[in-house]
Amino acid sequence: MIKFFLMNLLLSFIWVALSGSLFYSNFLFGYLLGFGVLWIMNRNETDQRYFYRVPKIISFFFFFLFELIKANIQVAYDVITPKYFFKPGIVRYPVNTKTDFEINILSTFISLTPGTLIIDISDDKKAIYIHVMYLKDEQQFIRQLKTGVERKLLEILR
């Protein structure tokens, strides 16, 4: 998988060099073009993980960006208006992670969202304790994290 990623980067740098314009959009276009070329050339390879993970990573990026903007608007609205809408609470969130790396990445993405903060990880590493600023329904919050951030992140990492 690393081999395909490095080849894709090399192809995108070659595209930038041949086109003569060093812009992010040109580099991104070269990356996507290189991805397509590599995918066509390696359709019969046994290891296709790279070609399934890159679209999932792009999808996760846009999903997390949307969640981040939505949470920022909610916090900004609460700060600007005279009435406070927050209902803080602490949630014990059971995780389906297997390694310390997965727990670390998941807790980092949860903490990046405004209104949430990781307090602790249980000793058996089966639960994360999260302080939530806008907790209306604990089960709905857990369900949103399970079907959203955790599921998409573990699809990328596994």
Distances (CA, A) of 91 to 95, 108, 116, 117: 12, 16, 10, 10
Considering the chain, what is the average pLDDT of its residues?
Answer: 92
Would you say the pTM of this structure is higher than 0.85? no
How many Cα atoms sit within 13 Å of 143 on the Cβ side? 5
Nearest to 8 by CA among 41, 32, 43, 42: 32
Whether the Cβ atoms of residue 113 and residue 70 lie closer than 8 Å to each other: no
Q: Which amino acid type is present at position 84?
A: Y
Question: How far apart (Å, rounded) are the C-alpha atoms in residues 92 and 11?
Answer: 46
pLDDT tens for 4-49 read: 999 999 999 999 999 998 899 999 999 999 999 999 998 887 778 8
The residue behind tokens 């991104």 is 28
